[in-house]
Amino acid sequence: MLVRGFPAAAFDTNCWVVAPGPGEQCIVVDPGIGVEDELDALLREHRLQPVAVLLTHGHLDHTFSVTPVCGARGIPALIHPADRELLHLRDIELRGYRRADGLFDIEARLTDTKTYAFSNTDRGEVQPGTPLHGMLARMTIDEDMVITSFEAVTEYGPYAICPSAAPNFARLAGLRIGRGFIKAANERVGGVHGCTHLRELLGQMGTVAFQTLYAVRVRTPPEPNTVETAQQPAQRPMVLGTCLAYAPDSPVVQRQWPQFYTGPTTG
């Protein structure tokens, strides 16, 4: 890979040339102010043939020479259809762990940051990159997907009172993750008893719980009434009807649970 760059004549911006190697086709990136002569010399030095100009964004210092560079070679200029500015980032991380005592921890972290400074009544000036929201949650479950404990902490919130909602999530102990879990959780920590952003994590933590226990569940012998017999039909799978792949008439259901398949049959 050949990557070469040089500064434009103003604003300390750089023009770049990217190619697989010398003598190859290349892309010119951000031809700013006064770059034509040095760009021509760079292209001759490495025997490069430009096929396009790539603009990282539409500011003048990155686009000033795009017309002469493209026009002289008959090549297109490429830019995102809607030049945009990043304003807000929400990062969510989830992890699933097997514990030495046979239980499982599902951990989640939610962080909201902004790319600009703003004023907050309780916190004063919040600088770019400083979290507006920062929540941590740990849900401990057993092999039956029953929550044995739930811990939550609000490290960052917009108001001084926000952290006081986190301890209420301990009320989720005893609930079983499965059908109706979110409804049952909202009965315990919904509305003024909880935190919107911690509640938003619950559904994703439930999904990660299923993924974490996958290895355990696939090697666990079927429970009574999970294998179909002539006298005792199998239980309806919990995931049936929860997405397109598990629609009752989908080929996935036809293959995995043919007794619950409702779509057309062939032959």
pLDDT tens for each residue of the chain, 267 residues long: 899 999 998 888 999 999 999 999 999 999 999 899 999 999 999 999 999 999 988 888 898 899 999 998 999 999 887 777 789 999 999 999 999 999 999 999 999 999 999 999 999 999 999 999 999 999 999 999 999 999 999 999 999 999 999 999 999 999 999 989 999 999 999 999 999 999 999 999 999 999 999 888 766 655 544 444 444 456 788 788 989 999 999 999 999 999 999 999 875
Report which residue type is found at 171: R
Tell me: do 207 and 103 sit in the same domain. yes
End residue of a domain, out of 20, 49, 78: 78
Residue 53, domain member (yes or no): yes
User: What total number of domains does the chain contain?
Assistant: 3
Residue 237, domain member (yes or no): yes
The pLDDT value given to residue 227? 46
The pLDDT value given to residue 86? 81
CATH code of the domain in which 58 resides? 3.60.15.10
Tell me: do 63 and 167 sit in the same domain. no
Residue 252, domain member (yes or no): yes
The pLDDT value given to residue 231? 47
Tell me: do 148 and 99 sit in the same domain. yes
Tell me: do 210 and 229 sit in the same domain. no
Tell me: do 162 and 263 sit in the same domain. no
Tell me: do 210 and 255 sit in the same domain. no
H helix count then E strand count, the chain: 7, 11
CA distances from residue 24 to 17, 44, 152, 221 in whole angstroms, order as listed: 11, 12, 55, 60
Q: Which residues pair with 54 in a beta bridge?
A: 29, 78
The pLDDT value given to residue 232? 47
Tell me: do 170 and 203 sit in the same domain. yes
The label of the residue with tokens 């010119």 reads 28
Tell me: do 139 and 240 sit in the same domain. no
pTM of the model: 0.66
Residue 83, domain member (yes or no): no
Residue 219, domain member (yes or no): no
Tell me: do 147 and 244 sit in the same domain. no
The pLDDT value given to residue 228? 45
How many angstroms separate the CA atoms of 8 and 20, rounded?
Answer: 23
Residues 250 and 263 sit within 8 Å (Cβ to Cβ): yes
Tell me: do 208 and 117 sit in the same domain. yes
Please give the residue range of the domain that contains residue 251. Answer: 224-267
The pLDDT value given to residue 221? 56
Q: How many residues does the chain have?
A: 267
- CA 235 to the chain's CA centroid: 34
Residue 262, domain member (yes or no): yes
The pLDDT value given to residue 234? 66
Tell me: do 107 and 183 sit in the same domain. yes
The pLDDT value given to residue 19? 95
CA distances from residue 45 to 24, 49, 79, 237, 265 in whole angstroms, order as listed: 12, 11, 27, 66, 66
